[in-house]
Every structure is written in structure tokens, then in C-alpha cells.
Chain A
Amino acid sequence: MALRRNKLRTFLTGLAISWGIFILIVLLAAGNGLMDAVGKQFSSRSTNTYTLYGGMTSKPYKGHNSNRWIPLTDKDIRLLENNFPHVDQVSPRVNSGGNAVYGNQLSPIVLSGVRPVYAKTNDVEMTMGRFIDELDEKNNEKVLVIDENVQEQLFDPEEDPVGKLIFVNDIAYKVIGVWKGNPNSGGGECFVPFSTLKKITNKDEYSMLNFTTYDLDTKEANEAFEKYLRTQLAHLHEFDPEDNSSIYIISTMLQYLQTNKIMNTLQIFIWIIGIAMLISGIVGVSNIMRITVKERTNEIGIRKAIGAKSRSILASIVVESMIITTLFGYIGMWLGMMVADLSGDIISKAQEGNMVTINIVPSIDLGIVLMATALLIVCGVLAGFFPARNAVKIKPIEAMNYR
């Protein structure tokens, strides 16, 4: 076939196709990776969780000065638990520092007193044993969930920490489980039942309050709820309901909706770039095919003179462009997928020890890849077909004398 004697031309045609597919795949893979990474931030959590943090007032109100500290207290828990609309389960968090001792090993830790629902609202990932349950909470059990960091410091690698007793500030706790730890805080966060820690520390000030909600599915409903919640809290603590820094209210749902909007825009952007890429690939392929056929006009004339029928010439050109586009399309697809996979692996590995929460791992939607490749192949073939059809229409004698 003509392919093997026109290596450069064939190679250039192929390169255009391979490159188009390659860029498209890498681009889509990177986009997908970003979506996945952001999606993962939300997917494992329960659909809607509110988190409250205490804050500082920024304006004077009803005789109170500004810059007044507003703590979260038992009053807030009672407010939320006492038939507050849409509120499901409440988990406050009370903190206390100390040293954990096991045998002759010592590790500084932060004790967080939380309720069982905290595991769900804050995405606590267990690697061993179990999390705090309702019974622990009810009976003020001295049980402890340590993180992997503390496990490493106190226990031998072969030793099973579950069931062991460790001392924290001279009080003995039984280890019931190990969790992965919070990568953003350097580790050392251990969980005990809220009731237990509250009794020990006798604190009425909480660093944070989590609660889950029900029947809050839309942006509007969440915004209305947040406004109502803020008014109620303002009434309770006597601060200006318009003063947003007094108590921080964070809704995963609202965050999620907002991020979703950004992601959707980004996705549209990526698609536009991808389609533009594809179009430029198609234009490139079409152009080269057109030139290729033009260059072969003499040959077409000769073939016709010695008895070739138009159909057979047309078929051979179409088959040829099909072979080129398919072969190089496949190569581009394969390379693109390889690069996407490889960079995915490298990124995952690089971030394994890292304390980064967003892992952008490129991934590929095989259906879209195949569709794009098929589209380019079809266009390549059509790009060969139309000029070829025009070329075979020329009278053989004119084609033979074509320069």
C-alpha cells in the first residue's frame, strides 16, 4: 500500500490523531481527578451536618461590649436538643490535654469527649476495634479510641492495642479502637465518651458542637434554617443576630452545594477545551488527508487508465485512512491512558506520607475516551473519503497529467 512508501506523511497524519486523542484523555483525566478529589471530601460524610464554633462579637449589643467571647455551653445543647426543628442528633466536643502512659511509654495526647454520632459527622475512619457507642456514653465508661500516631508511640507493631489499659492523667482507660487520625493536626487526638470527659473535667464550655439534620435538602431550606438558628443563638447569648462572627455556623450541605457549583463550571470549561482540542485534531486530520489524496491524483489517474474502477480506488483510500486513523488513534488513546494512570500512581504515592487532604488522582471515563477516539476515526475516514471521491471523478487523462 501507499502507506509504507510515504512514511513521513503517514507519520504526520498519525501524529495529529495521536496527539489530539492523547491531550483530550489527559485533560479529561485530570479534570475527573479533580472532581473525584473534591467529591470524596463530601461523599463519606452524612448528607447534612452542621458545625458550630464559639466566636467573638464584632459589635456592641444591648449594653454588651464588642469583642466579647461567646462560648458554646450546655445551654446551647439544651436549645438544640429540645425539639429544635430539623435537628437530629447533637454531639458536642469537649477537649482536654494530657499524657497517655502505657508501660514505660509516654505520648502527649488531646482528649476529645464526643458522642457516637461524631464518627458519622466528622468522618472518623476506624482501622481497628470500634468507635464509642451509646452504652459507653450512657454509662460514662472510661473507654478510649486512640489514633494511629498514639498507637505507634505506645505499642509494639505486633501488639494489639484493643482491650489494653492506658493511663491518661492518672485515670485508666480501656482502648476500644484505633482511628486513622486527623492528618491536618499532627496527630494525638483520642476520643472518649462525652459524658465521661465532661464528668472528669467538669467543663461547661465546648470547642465545637456538631449536629445532624433531617428534611433540609435544598439551598433555600438550609439558608432559612441557618438564619433561624442564628437568631435563636443570638437570643440565648445576647448578641446581634446580624453579627456573623459571634458564633460560626458551617453547613456541609451549603459547602457542598457551593463547591458543586464551582465544579460544574470547571467541568464545562474542561469539556469546552476538550472539544476544541478534538475539533483541532479533526481539522488537522482532514487537512492532511486532503493533501494526501491530492498528491495521489497522478496515481489515481494511472490506476484508472489501466482499468481501476472508481469504487475500488475509493475503497482503497478509505481503508487506508481508516488504518492510519485507527492505528494512531489507538496509540494516542493508549499513551493518554498510560500517562493518566502513571501520574495517578505517582500522585497517590507522593501524597501517602503527606498531610494533604485533597488527592487529585487522574482517572479516565473509558466510554468517553472510546467515543472521542471513534469520533476522530470517523472524521479521519470521512476526511479521506470526500477528496478521494472528487479525485476519482476527474477524467483519468487529466488526473495523470495533474501536477
Chain B
Amino acid sequence: MIRLENINKTYFGAQPLHVLKGINLNVEDGEMVSIMGASGSGKSTLLNILGILDNYDTGDYYLNDKLVKDLTENQAADMRNRMIGFIFQSFNLIPFKTAMENVALPLYYQNVNRKKRNQLAMEYLERFGLKEWADHYPNELSGGQKQRVSMARALVTQPKIILADEPTGALDSKTSAEVMQILREVNQTGITMVIVTHERGIALRTNKIIHLKDGVIENIETNNPDQLDFNQEIK
């Protein structure tokens, strides 16, 4: 699903910063992997490149066997819209739209008509137990609810891959466990999942843990989350 070949990325500022130094990585279809690393290790940059939110300098990135390189803005937007669902630490919901409108928004950019959009958005909200909250604005929801809304928004377009950047970073441990449980269930429907985290407890709930250090992959740890007691506290 994802194939990275010798990806390099440098931020040119007052002091050029070589963030990614030749990343080679394969993520198979339906895999659930996590990327761990200290802050500054390049994990967020890597995720942004995977999400086509940022570009890379050299190397090749294949998403679903298509080379993602030198895309026009519109092509990138289109690919994000159809292939990728995002989940962010700070949820990134639009504050003046209701839960349902937020979930329906990606479909708007697929030119799905309003009736169909709202119907699909409701279905996903219902799936995440948020049916009663459909008409509420983000600031009227709890952290866990917001993250569930953003998961619904990520899934509503039925993407091939979910990219989650510290999805539990702003949540307490109980809610974090719930969110991870949902992500796990989503993964079991066949959607590939990449989670960036710095919490060991979160990473242990994925099949593969990629350790990033100073812009290079230090090692890849295989993990069997089924052995984990899912009711145990994460943090």
C-alpha cells in the first residue's frame, strides 16, 4: 500500500535542517503500524509526506502503486480526498460547522449531493454513537466525542488508508483506549492505518512499531496486539 524509497527532506531555514535522511519503508495493505520517536525525530514530517500534506526532496513515494511526486495542487487534493483519511491530535474540526456538517465536508469536495452527503454523515456518526450530537458544534462536544467526529470524517469517504497524528494526544487514558479500540476495529475492516505516537501504550496496540531517530529508521519491531489485555490502562 505504501512504499517509500530513500526519502529525504530538508527544511531550509536560517539553519538548514535535514529532517528525513533516506527513509525506506513498506506498509502492506490492511496493516496497522505505528511510528514512534522522540520529538524532532521526523515522525510528523514523515506522516505529512505520507498524507501528501508536504512534499519531499528526493526519493520515491508510491501510494497504492502510484508514484506520488511532483503532483499539482489539485491532483494532491484529489488524492488526499479519495485515498486518505486524516485524524489529528487537535481534531481540526471546523468550529462553525455542526458535527454532521464536519463529517459531510469531504463528500462536498467529491461533489456528492447534499442529501446523500448528510445521509452518509449520519450513518457514520451513528456508527460512532454520536447520532444525538449531530447538530452540535465542536465546542459543545467532549474531547473523545470530537475525536470520534473526526474519525467519522476520515472514514466517510471510505479511504484506503488512515493517517493518525497523535490521535490520543489530547485525550485521557480511558478515552484513549476507546479511540484505539475503534481504530483497531476500523483496521479490521481492511483499511491500512498509520499512527504517529510517542506513547508506548498506543504503539503496542499496532502490529508493527517503526522506531524513528534523527531522521532514520532505527529498527522495526513486530508486535502482536492480540496478546494485549485491551481493558488495561494505556498510560
Q: Which residues of A line the B interface, CB within 8 A?
A: 2, 4-6, 298-299, 301-312, 395-397, 400
23 contacts between A and B (CB under 8 A): A2-B96, A298-B92, A302-B92, A302-B93, A303-B105, A305-B51, A305-B80, A305-B86, A306-B81, A306-B105, A306-B106, A307-B80, A307-B81, A307-B82, A307-B110, A308-B77, A309-B73, A309-B78, A310-B73, A310-B74, A311-B74, A312-B109, A397-B48
Report the bound CA distance from A261 to B106 in whole Å.
65
Q: Specify which chain A residues have a CB less than 8 angstroms from the CB of B157 in the assembled complex.
A: 307
Chain B 57-82, CB within 8 Å of chain A: the 1/0 string?
00000000000000001100110111
Whether the pair B77, A309 counts as a contact (CB closer than 8 A) is yes
Whether the pair A307, B106 counts as a contact (CB closer than 8 A) is yes
Chain B 82-121, CB within 8 Å of chain A: the 1/0 string?
1000101000111110000000011001100000000000
Given contacts A5-B95, A395-B53, contact A306 B48 (CB under 8 A): no
Report the bound CA distance from A301 to B109 in whole Å.
14
Q: Specify which chain A residues have a CB less than 8 angstroms from the CB of B109 in the assembled complex.
A: 303, 306-309, 312
Q: Specify which chain B residues have a CB less than 8 angstroms from the CB of A299 in the assembled complex.
A: 94
Given contacts A304-B77, A310-B73, contact A397 B105 (CB under 8 A): no
Closest to B97 in A: A5
Whether the pair B74, A309 counts as a contact (CB closer than 8 A) is yes
Would you give the shortest CB distance from B183 to chain A, in whole angstroms?
18
Report the bound CA distance from A303 to B106 in whole Å.
8
Q: Specify which chain B residues have a CB less than 8 angstroms from the CB of A397 in the assembled complex.
A: 48, 53-54
Q: For the complex, is B153 an interface residue (Cβ under 8 Å from A)?
A: yes
Q: Which residues of B line the A interface, CB within 8 A?
A: 48, 51, 53-54, 73-74, 77-78, 80-82, 86, 88, 92-96, 105-106, 109-110, 153, 157
Closest to B55 in A: A395
Excluding A4-B96, A5-B96, A397-B54, 12 further A-B contacts by CB distance (< 8 Å) are: A2-B96, A5-B95, A302-B93, A303-B105, A305-B53, A305-B86, A306-B105, A306-B106, A307-B78, A309-B77, A310-B74, A397-B48
Report the bound CA distance from A222 to B82 in whole Å.
85
Whether the pair A395, B54 counts as a contact (CB closer than 8 A) is yes
Closest to A299 in B: B94
Closest to B95 in A: A5
Nearest 5 CB-CB pairings of A with B = A307-B81, A5-B96, A397-B53, A307-B109, A306-B106
Q: Specify which chain B residues have a CB less than 8 angstroms from the CB of A303 in the assembled complex.
A: 94, 105, 109
Would you give the shortest CB distance from B125 to chain A, in whole angstroms?
16
Closest to B82 in A: A307
Partner of B53, one of A4, A312, A396: A396
Report the bound CA distance from A177 to B81 in whole Å.
88
Q: Is the interface of A mostly helix, strand, loop or mixed?
A: helix
Q: Is the interface of B mostly helix, strand, loop or mixed?
A: mixed
Q: Specify which chain B residues have a CB less than 8 angstroms from the CB of A307 in the assembled complex.
A: 77-78, 80-82, 106, 109-110, 157
Report the bound CA distance from A308 to B73 in whole Å.
10
Would you give the shortest CB distance from A356 to chain B, in whole angstroms?
56
Would you give the shortest CB distance from B162 to chain A, in whole angstroms?
13
Report the bound CA distance from A396 to B51 in whole Å.
10
Report the bound CA distance from A299 to B102 in whole Å.
11
Report the bound CA distance from A395 to B93 in whole Å.
18
Would you give the shortest CB distance from B51 to chain A, in whole angstroms?
7
Report the bound CA distance from A311 to B95 in whole Å.
22
Q: Specify which chain A residues have a CB less than 8 angstroms from the CB of B77 in the assembled complex.
A: 304, 307-310
Q: Specify which chain A residues have a CB less than 8 angstroms from the CB of B105 in the assembled complex.
A: 303, 306
Closest to B47 in A: A397
Would you give the shortest CB distance from A84 to chain B, in whole angstroms?
84
Closest to B157 in A: A307
Would you give the shortest CB distance from B153 to chain A, in whole angstroms?
7
Closest to A306 in B: B106
Report the bound CA distance from A299 to B96 in whole Å.
10
Report the bound CA distance from A373 to B80 in whole Å.
41
Report the bound CA distance from A166 to B93 in whole Å.
93
Closest to B137 in A: A5
Report the bound CA distance from A307 to B88 in whole Å.
15
Q: Specify which chain B residues have a CB less than 8 angstroms from the CB of A306 in the assembled complex.
A: 80-81, 86, 105-106, 109, 153
Report the bound CA distance from A219 to B217 in whole Å.
94
Closest to B75 in A: A309
Q: Specify which chain B residues have a CB less than 8 angstroms from the CB of A311 in the assembled complex.
A: 74
Q: Specify which chain B residues have a CB less than 8 angstroms from the CB of A310 in the assembled complex.
A: 73-74, 77
Q: Specify which chain A residues have a CB less than 8 angstroms from the CB of B96 in the assembled complex.
A: 2, 4-6
Q: Specify which chain A residues have a CB less than 8 angstroms from the CB of B94 in the assembled complex.
A: 299, 302-303
Interface centre among B82, B95, B153 (most CB of A within 10 A): B95
